[in-house]
C-alpha cells in the first residue's frame, strides 16, 4: 500500500454513496415516496411497496460502505419482500453503516416525475426520511423535477447522494 494511503496516517475519511431507482406507475395501488403515502390515482409498481426514494437511499447507504446493492439483501425473487415496507430496507442498510463505523452526515435527493407535484409534500417527506435516518431534517435534501420530454411520464425516478462520517470516540 502506498505510504499516502497507509492506515498509520490516522486520516478520518468520509464516505460518499450514490443510488438511484425507478418504477412505473400502476393504477390501484398506493403511492409511497419517502415512507409517506401521497394521494394519487396510481402508485409505483414494485416487488415491495415501490418507494423509489427509499430504494435509492438504501442503495446510496450500501454503496457508501461498498456493501453491494439493495438486490443483494432484498432480492425481488424472494417472496418475503413482496409488498414490504421499504423503510425496513433503509433500517438494514443503516445497521450495516453503523457496523462499518459510520453515521449519516447528510443526504441530498432529486425525484423526477410528471405527477403528482412533490412540492406540497416535500417538508413531510423530508421529516419522515430524517426520522428514519435519525438525523435533523436540515440534513435531508428533497428536490423534485418534471421529466421535461424524457419520455418517462409514467414513471418516477429518484437519485440520492449520501455523505457518511466516520464515528470517532474520544
Q: What is the mean predicted confidence (pLDDT) over 26-36? A: 96
Cell output for 96? 450495516
Classify residue 92 by burial, with Cβ atoms within 10 Å: 0-12, 13-18, 19+: middle
Asked if pLDDT for residue 6 goes beyond 50, the answer is no
Q: What is the mean predicted confidence (pLDDT) over 113-135? A: 97
- Neighbouring residues of 84: CB distance < 8 A, sequence distance ≥ 6: 47, 48, 49, 74
Q: What is the mean predicted confidence (pLDDT) over 31-40? A: 97
Asked if pLDDT for residue 95 goes beyond 70, the answer is yes
pTM given for the model: 0.91
CB 144 within 8 A of CB 111: yes
pLDDT, averaged across the chain: 92
Cell output for 86? 421499504
Q: What is the mean predicted confidence (pLDDT) over 28-37? A: 96
Q: Phi, psi at residue 88, to the nearest 5°?
A: -65, -35
User: In order of start, what are the domains of the chain with their CATH numbers?
Assistant: 13-166 (3.30.1330.50)
Nearest to 40, CA basis, from 141, 133, 146, 121: 121
The pLDDT of residue 1 is 47
**pLDDT band for position 11 (cuts 50, 70, 90):** low
Amino acid at each position: 500500500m502506498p505510504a499516502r494511503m497507509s492506515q498509520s496516517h490516522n486520516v478520518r475519511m468520509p464516505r460518499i454513496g450514490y443510488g438511484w431507482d425507478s418504477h412505473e406507475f400502476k393504477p390501484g395501488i398506493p403511492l409511497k415516496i419517502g415512507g409517506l403515502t401521497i394521494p394519487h390515482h396510481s402508485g409505483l409498481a414494485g416487488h415491495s411497496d415501490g418507494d423509489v426514494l427509499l430504494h435509492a437511499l438504501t442503495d446510496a447507504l450500501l454503496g457508501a460502505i461498498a456493501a453491494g446493492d439493495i438486490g443483494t439483501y432484498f432480492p425481488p425473487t424472494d417472496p418475503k419482500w413482496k409488498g414490504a415496507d421499504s423503510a425496513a430496507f433503509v433500517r438494514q442498510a443503516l445497521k450495516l453503516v453503523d457496523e462499518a463505523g459510520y453515521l449519516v452526515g447528510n443526504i441530498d435527493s432529486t425525484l423526477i416525475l410528471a405527477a403528482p407535484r412533490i412540492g406540497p409534500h416535500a417538508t413531510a417527506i423530508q421529516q419522515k426520511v430524517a426520522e428514519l435516518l435519525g438525523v435533523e431534517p436540515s440534513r435531508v435534501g428533497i428536490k423534485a423535477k418534471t421529466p421535461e420530454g424524457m419520455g418517462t411520464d409514467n414513471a418516477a425516478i429518484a437519485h440520492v447522494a449520501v455523505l457518511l462520517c466516520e464515528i470517532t470516540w474520544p
